[in-house]
Structure 1
Amino acid sequence: MDVLPGGTATFLLLFGLFLGAFAVRSALRLGRVLRLVRRGERAEGRCADRRVVDRGSGMEWRYATEYVFAFRTPDGAEVEFTDHAPGPFGFRVGAPVRVSYDPADPVRRATVAGPGAWGPALMPAVFAAVLGLFSLGLLLGFAAARGWL
């Protein structure tokens, strides 16, 4: 008995599209980070806080480390933002960082990606590549199951 109409082919299509959506989301995040690194304003900042976030009991990795960075814009506004893990060892609180940001929206569009901290660019690149390959494989499986290949 098939759970989905179309059986395996429908599963391959739906799961392939699901993973493809996450691959596209990661690729868009990578594009935003690289655009900030290339064209964003630069400021000297610091690691303001390193906290452990409880993501809930149902998660495989229940606790995640979140880094909060702070910098001052040229007009004197103090901005704090979170970014992906900057590398395998992270930053200690108070460590200086180079921040790239969009002056139009520095709270939502800022990153510490750049020399010495490529984690914010590397993680979306890995997710986009791996999920994109899995999605492509599933969609090719769907096409083969339908007899299109």
Structure 2
Amino acid sequence: MNRQLTMLLTTVAVLSAAAAHALEVSVTDARLRKGEQASVTVKFKENPLADVFAVDVAFSFDAGAFRLDRIEKGYAVSQFQLVENREDGSDAVRIALIGLFPLNAESGDLLTLHFTAREDGVPGRDRALIITGVTFATDEAALSPEKITQGELVLSR
């Protein structure tokens, strides 16, 4: 089987009083059939500060189309504690990354989300993974949804 591998990269900036933060959402497998797996990596870049002690990420997805198998911490936050808030079958997830020592990397992976497609695609009904908010502990405001350009996990027909 020949699967189409597509990287969807987006960059988003949030300005606070002291710094600009950016996120990339990359979808490693853009088109999936029932039973196939994909991973989504949430990255940050342009972190000139050394005082980020926590990151809060909220996202939603179509739980009828995708199963969230696991969530992994990225290498940049390997010393942080990962706390998940999700229920089986729920399509909304909140994740907190909390560190005793500050995040001092300029860029890196925050999270990798691993999904499995529960069904094949249906014409006119593509499904998306949507990041609804990200807050860095040093920012004055969270990333608002309109400032995040989304990647999609698309079910193949």
TM-score by length of 2: 0.25
Would you tell me which structure has more helix in proportion to its own residues?
1
Bigger CA radius of gyration: 1
Would you tell me which structure has more strand in proportion to its own residues?
2
TM-score by length of 1: 0.26
